[in-house]
Amino acid sequence: MLKGERVPNKHLLTLQQGVSENLLEEMENARLQLVVPEPYHKQYPEVYRDKLWSVSKFIDYANEKFYRIYHI
């Protein structure tokens, strides 16, 4: 088994300004969370905008996960 296969949910940070609905659907099916700077959200299909994470949301998520692992 590849290391990546052991991680059920993955995150991809991108500066790409817009992605097709087909690609976004594939990412969602692959359990890949797209992380995009907030100003770029408006360049993505409206139906997927609420599913995008901002960079700050990802940082908060990573900090929380780190805290749970190393400070229990």
pLDDT of residue 72: 60
For the entire predicted model, the pTM comes to 0.82
The pLDDT tens digits of the residues spanning 10-52 come to 999 999 998 999 999 999 999 999 999 999 999 999 999 999 9
Q: Of how many residues is the chain composed?
A: 72
Single out the residue of 59, 34, 61 nearest to residue 48, CA to CA. Answer: 34
